[in-house]
Structure 1
């Protein structure tokens, strides 16, 4: 794979194939500045702004999802910037042979973190700044001449000056945001997640047929993932009573209701809008539409009430209904599968297997949609630092992992306050489940005997059902123990209850939050990893297992933020 006119190493950008992080011993030996022989390398590829010939017409609204192109476009020409924090040149037989990294870079700085409180925004975030010496004015014109936003930025570490380029470990992989020059060249950078801050849904054009009537022009085409109950479709053809519940192939339409009363399916399923429009549907019944051009249903007669449906959503590439599968399907609306750390999705599928449902009826960014799904399972998604998108869930620390003791810790360990939402502990967790995507009220619900039971009427009116677990004894010891409420997307009560129990265990009494200042060994653990910390004070004298929830890197010194 090439960027601009030169190859970027031998491994495609975003594929986890770079050298593994050096062994703990190698990085531990590079702990202190006074004795450190490590070298940081910086690689950037700003765009030149040159005009590239486009061989195809521009993307049109209403045909393809925003952020997905039906054809490839030529990349902007790029220049290469290779820096280091002290001059370093690769060898003739190295992966990138005879490349000089000019010693202009100051020690790189970046923060990355995952949330320790459910519902606390973007799941995994890495932000940072690179500063290069510009005392000679060599880079004065670069911010005006070239663009760094949305271009690749990597920071690599060599544990020793004698190391090969092929032995370099990637400690940050992301994208540029912007840059400016004074006596230094300042480059703001961020993880690749912000590239998904683009709209998820395509819009109706209002030209008729599958594109909707004029009343739908400019409105979003709904999307449905997993098992969604009681969704409202878009009436794209009022004369033929055709409703659309998903923008492309869905798995199934399980049921259609009028004011909560189920209709009879006519037994037919059509694979295209054209075939659906040409069909004949018996009065009082419905037929299904599951096609590559969209999915929904058609009624055989005017409804006379609110029309809703139970739909099993997106099936492009196979139907998915678990948390990891839905997040992956959303992310793949904006990036290729090669940009995903697939092992993390497989792992989450094993520990969060429950069926969920997620329905999109108003515009949001791909990143926001993925975050909503993750928050509903107290999980996270994002670029954890290596340029690939991962998913994970904060869990109680277990034994094992890297050990950090007085030899690796370079300053006093600092206990920090837990966030208010989970301090001093959680005594009760309440989770919603089986989301009702269109709550009905009053006369919206058909009268008895059409909807015969009070239980069913309450289900149609409520947004979700509730599950809760509690340990009253925690309030005896901690009178300010908090309740926690989470709106899950799980369909089954058992899965919602399992989520409640997991959170009750995670936020039990005695949890602590620490800042652990270490040397370059702080680059070794990944976000969410368990480590063991030993320190003479703060309950750490005998060693304690903690989860890494943040890294604050300043060159050869890294603060690990740990919870457990």
Structure 2
């Protein structure tokens, strides 16, 4: 069924719609799946499994909220499913473990085979609760929650001084990292795994000779060290070297974190990620000498180019970017697509007159090196970031804005890329932006975060149409309505 056919069916008066939920749960010592619905449904004889009954115990609305925050912070999509418990027969469900179990939600017609249903949500259960004595409530989150785990907890091991230190990780290119001494013969580890290259090794800032062992992310000094050993390196090279945001995010999501929570290729949106990689080839670098979080690292990478990590409703990882105009062809929305009286301004953004970005991070600060190195090099080792700034003096005067912008640090490597990103962000936020909200009919239920919309409406100067970007969706599949937030 095409999207157009699906939307027609949603509004078809003769349709007998049913929502199915397949929920994992740990009950009485056994991992199992419970099959729930908002009306009784049984799979057909040709389905797999055949003749499977879904309990018709879902009550109230089935809603999901997702957003693209203007501050660039990661936002987990959330949802809620209410389950009938009027007689108390499911009181024991409160003793089961639902936390971080998978859930998939589907919609279709009660007369359809299960294979014809459309998935409308894939995520995890946050927990179960009870708003009152007659119901149970499942709180839902999208699958980004699975990435909320440590990147790695592997330690050096052995009997050496650094046996309890974490094995460091490098993704992309990093300047002046502090490798870990792992042996008695001046062997150092800079990345726990195959690496791309060692650009330079320094002893108190002075380049020294070494022998590289890239297959294990190590090098050995050709002489005894006199001071602090640092290195500029290109890291992780399993299946190819990656130094872009999309490439490293995919690598982190699928190969790091707790094994059972790692994403597979089925959890990725290949079309979105490939397109993002094409549009954002800027090289980046991330060094992890200490405990770090997979989701936080992915967001740190994405925010370096003004993007955010997000999940589609189908549970696939995407990278989305606040941008006006938004990428892709804009869908035209008119007052006829909205519930009467629901269209209104919600909030306005803060105008800025400058953007200041940090780039080319120095991962090991070294103050007052006295080894005869050039003064320019010594200065580089003393500062954590280089900086680029974009300013608009006219905006500063008009809006009476004073003072230097606060520096926002990125993982970008080059001056040109940092300057371009600063200019892009300044252009976006140096003019007043507004967020408008409205409630849409069933024809808008398939809108997606980040999508471009052109709103044609008799209010707020939009008679001829104004193009914006979807930044919030609150979807209720029971009422077939969707709350929409658009940045213009």
TM-score normalised over the length of structure 2: 0.89
Q: Distance in 2 between matches of 1:508 and 1:165?
A: 51
Please give the secondary structure, in 1, of the residue aligned with 2:61.
coil
Q: Which residue of 387, 397, 406 maps to 2:335? A: 406
Instruction: Pick one of 45, 62, 65 that aligns with 1:111.
Output: 65
Aligned to 1:438: 364
SS at match of 1:329: helix
1:216 corresponding residue in structure 2: 162
How many aligned residue pairs are there? Answer: 474
| 1:125 counterpart SS class | coil
Secondary structure of 2:425's aligned partner: helix
Residue pairs, 1:255-274, within 5 angstroms: 255-263=200-208
Corresponding position of 2:152: 201
- The answer to whether the Cα contact below 8 Å between 1:227 and 1:321 also exists between their aligned partners in 2 is yes
Residues 156, 480 of structure 1: alpha-carbon distance in 2 compared, 3 angstrom cutoff = farther
Distance in 2 separating the partners of 1:161 and 1:203: 50
Match of 2:129 in 1: 180
More moved, 246-255 vs 179-188: 179-188
CA 1:240 to 1:354, structure 2 compared with 1: closer, same or farther past 3 Å? same
Partner of residue 23, structure 2: 44
Deviations 1:321-342 (A, max 9, x none): 0111111111112322332112
Instruction: Return the offset for 1:102.
Output: 3.7
2:35–2:53 contact (8 Å) kept in structure 1: no
- The partner residue of 2:394 within 452, 464, 473 is 473
- Looking at secondary structure, tell me which structure has more strand per residue: 2
Write the distance in 1 (CA, Å) between the matches of 2:111 and 2:462. Answer: 37
Check conservation: 1:314, 1:320, Cα contact below 8 A. yes
Moved over 6 A (4+): none
* Preserved CA contact (<8 Å) 2:156 2:167: no
Q: Counterparts of 1:155 and 1:508 in 2: how far apart (Å)?
A: 41
CA distance in 2, matches of 1:374, 1:500: 15
Q: SS of the residue aligned with 2:448?
A: coil
Out of 233, 244, 252, the residue aligned to residue 189 of structure 2 is 244
Secondary structure of residue in 1 paired with 2:82: strand
Report the Cα distance in structure 2 between the residues aligned to 1:188 and 1:250, rounded to whole angstroms.
42
Does structure 1 residue 138 correspond to structure 2 residue 89? yes
Kindly state the Cα deviation for residue 512 of structure 1 after the two structures are TM-superposed. Answer: 1.3
Q: Supply the distance in 2 between the matched residues of 1:125 and 1:231 (Cα, whole angstroms).
A: 32
Whether the 8 Å CA contact 1:27–1:520 is kept in 2: the answer is: no
Contact 2:24 2:31 in 1 (8 A): no
Higher mean C-alpha displacement, 473-482 vs 321-330: 473-482
Which stretch has the larger CA shift, 353-362 or 486-495? 486-495
Task: Write out per-residue CA displacement over residues 324-375 of structure 1, whole angstroms, 9 at most, x where no aligned residue.
Answer: 1111111112322332112222111111101111101110221122122222
Q: Please, which moves more after superposition, 458-467 or 554-563?
A: 554-563
1:415 aligns with 2:345: yes
Give the Cα–Cα distance (whole angstroms) in 1 for the partners of residues 425 and 405 of structure 2. Answer: 11
CA RMSD of the aligned region, Å?
A: 2.6
Task: Tell me if structure 1 keeps the 8 A contact 2:47–2:114.
Answer: yes
Corresponding position of 1:375 = 303
Secondary structure (helix, strand or coil) at the match of 1:386 reads: coil
| Runs of 5+ unmatched residues, structure 2 | 257-261
Would you say 1:169 and 2:118 are equivalent positions? yes
Is residue 2:458 matched to residue 1:540? no
Structure 2 residue 34 is matched with structure 1 residue 80: yes
Partner deviation per Cα, 1:234-285 (whole Å, 9 max, x = no partner): 1122x3111111111111111101121112xxxxxxxxxxxxxxxxxxxxx2
| Closer, same or farther: CA 412–480 of 1 in aligned 2, 3 Å | farther
Given that 2:86 and 2:134 are in contact with CA atoms closer than 8 Å, whether structure 1 keeps it comes out as yes
Aligned to 2:104: 154
1:167-219 superposed Cα distances (whole Å, 9 cap, x missing partner) = 433222101122135311211111111112221122325323xxxx1x32432
SS at match of 1:457: helix
Partner of 1:227 in structure 2? 173
546 and 163 in structure 1: CA distance in 2 versus 1, 3 angstrom threshold: farther
C-alpha distance in 2 between matches for 1:255 and 1:23: 59
| SS of aligned partner of 1:195 | helix
Measure, in 2, the Cα distance between the counterparts of 1:191 and 1:488: 26
TM-superposed CA distance for 1:313, in Å, is 0.6
Corresponding residue of 2:259:
none
State the shift of 1:77 in Å. Answer: 3.8
Aligned-residue offset at 1:394: 1.6
Instruction: Classify 1:137/1:22 alpha carbon distance in 2 versus 1 (closer, same or farther; 3 Å).
Output: farther
- Alignment-derived partner of residue 213 in structure 2: 289
Counterpart residue number, 2:485: 561
Q: CA 1:381–1:302 in 2, change beyond 3 Å: closer, same or farther?
A: same
Contact 1:114 1:527 in 2 (8 A): yes
Whole-angstrom distance in 1 between the partners of 2:444 and 2:384: 45
Distance 1:98 1:241 in 2: 66
CA contact (8 A) 1:157 1:171 kept: yes
**Shift, 1:163, TM fit:** 5.3
Tell me the distance in 1 between the aligned counterparts of 2:244 and 2:314. Answer: 25
* Distance in 2 (alpha carbons) for counterparts of 1:489 and 1:548: 27
Name the CA distance, whole Å, in 1 between partners of 2:316 and 2:418. Answer: 29
